[in-house]
Chain A
Amino acid sequence: MTNIAIEINELNFSFESLLILENINMIIEQGDFAGLVGPNGGGKTTLLKLILGLYKAQSGKISIFGKPIKNQRKLIGYVPQYANFNSDFPISVEDTVLQGRLGISRCFGRYCRQDKAIAQKVMQETEIHDLAQRSIQSLSGGQMQRVLVARALAAEPEILLLDEPTANIDLRAEKDIFDLFKTINQRMTILIISHDIGFVSDYINKVFCLNKTLVCHDSTPVTSDTIHTLYGGHISEVHHHH
């Protein structure tokens, strides 16, 4: 029997009388590598923040392993959009990654040895352990993205939620980071927001297309017609060869 990691039922969300999300129903099973795609302004980030409990929905229900998010925060790792980031902050890579231990660490005051050991482990996995003492101000986009992934992993979550993790990096680095996600997926459920439907389709086993409401989900095959409904107008198909 498979467990349901994230379940969303009849969710509606509006902001200042503007309907952003309408009648969302979604099931992500444990072990899934799910992609959430759609046009800008289609509500992808909003939906992710609703799952995270950062926003409150007007109606509908979201559960994480059968319980509301409030009781399940420890099971979730979150990688925010890099673009909105305060990269000017005086903090080292290691201290940034350690923040993932907040709310999980049993230590009072400072981070303890166990937290630091876990931080070391995830920095090795994301290949940033050489940068541990560097200030985040000196990192490239791709390096910073790995730091944010490591910070999310430091919580040792069951579900990893990522918002456009490859928006600021080149194609080669993008492939590397998706290979990393593939490895991580062997031990946890992943939901990833991407603008690049062609690229993610090589990795994910489930896709949700969102434009205010879910236009397609895993049971619908993604055809030119669905893409047309999703983005509207004419778009050119680009085939990736890896």
Chain B
Amino acid sequence: MFEFFTTLASQSFLQNALFGGILASIGCGLTGSFVVVNRIGYMAGGIAHSVLGGMGVAYYLGLDPFAGALIAALLAALIIGVIKLKWQHQEDTTIGAIWAVGMAIGIIFISKSEGYNTNLMSFLFGNILIISDEQLFIMLLLDIITIVFVAVFYKQLVAISFDIEFAIVRGIHVNLFYLLLLCLIAITVVLLIQVVGLILVIALLTLPAAIAKQYVHSLGLMMLLASILGMLFTSTGLFISYEPDLPAGATIILVAGVAYFLSSLFKSLFRYKLQSRFKP
């Protein structure tokens, strides 16, 4: 049990894993809160999965897969955003198509490259134990971009999430901010891929924010609490998975999932108790 801590003190790979989890949690707390209140988990899922296309192409060409992931994520975000704004009634079908086509492109390119299985698995499910110093630096950079953007445009982002028609009447460029919000999701997805992989991204993006929403009544506090919960889940998941040598990404998601389940259960029991107390 203490092996985790002795290794953490001496080995940089485990330190990097822990820092990586913390950095990813900041992004997922901020962006995840917008995903939850806007109820756009499906759109975020489409962006996350189609990223495999970009990773596959970059990998095939011998480039950094994460650069490919970032480009693909931003591209998918813009395509999905334009579809949402222009052809609302076709939204779910089109997102589903982008979701699957992106993955198909990725699989084809990766299958034509060397080291097919190991790399595919780490793209899909993440590999938090091999985060390099450069990757940590890039994650820090993506976090800073996210924090600055949310801090500067907090008012506008809250307004379009809360009541988009009122935001239009107040003269906000809602289409622009909507697309920027989706780009923010794209950036966060890339941040999370190394930690939990692109298939599990959605869980880490939505579960901490969904739990936070049960306890606080402002979007700012929701972001803060979601970030802290994210850090707690990634660190706990990493700790649990280390000694029995379980896949860290999957363990992190299980921790988050169990926490969400318990929190919802607690909330509904509490509400039930409150209601029965006020019954005549």
Contact = CB atoms under 8 A, between A and B. Distances in A.
A78 B169 contact: yes
A80 B161 CA distance: 15
Contact of B216 (A49, A85, A90, A99): A90
B156 interface: yes
A86 B170 contact: no
Interface string A162-198: 0000000000000000000000000000000000000
B154 A74 contact: no
A76 interface: yes
Given A90-B37, A91-B158, A109-B151, A73 B171 contact: yes
Given A54-B165, A137-B217, A95 B158 contact: yes
Contact of B222 (A85, A86, A90, A151): A90
Interface in B207-224: 213, 216-219, 221-222
Given A80-B166, A92-B218, A74 B159 contact: no
A137 B267 CA distance: 15
B162 A99 contact: yes
B169 A90 contact: no
Given A90-B37, A90-B213, A99 B159 contact: yes
B163 A91 contact: no
A52 interface: yes
A136 to B, nearest CB: 8
Interface residues of B, number: 26
A109 B171 contact: no
Chain B binding surface SS class: helix
Interface in B35-66: 37
B152 interface: yes
Nearest to A98: B155
B172 interface: yes
Interface string A75-99: 0101010000110011110011001
Contacts of A109: 151-152, 154-155
**Which among B156, B169, B218 has the highest number of chain A CB atoms within 10 Å?**
B169
Contact of A103 (B154, B162, B170, B213): B170
Nearest to B219: A90
A41 interface: no
B218 A90 contact: yes
A177 to B, nearest CB: 19
B167 interface: yes
Interface in B168-204: 168-172
Given A91-B218, A137-B217, 14 more contacts: A52-B165, A54-B168, A73-B171, A80-B166, A86-B162, A90-B221, A91-B219, A99-B155, A99-B162, A99-B163, A100-B170, A102-B159, A109-B155, A110-B154
- Ranked 5 nearest A-B pairs via Cβ: A135-B217, A103-B171, A102-B170, A103-B170, A73-B171
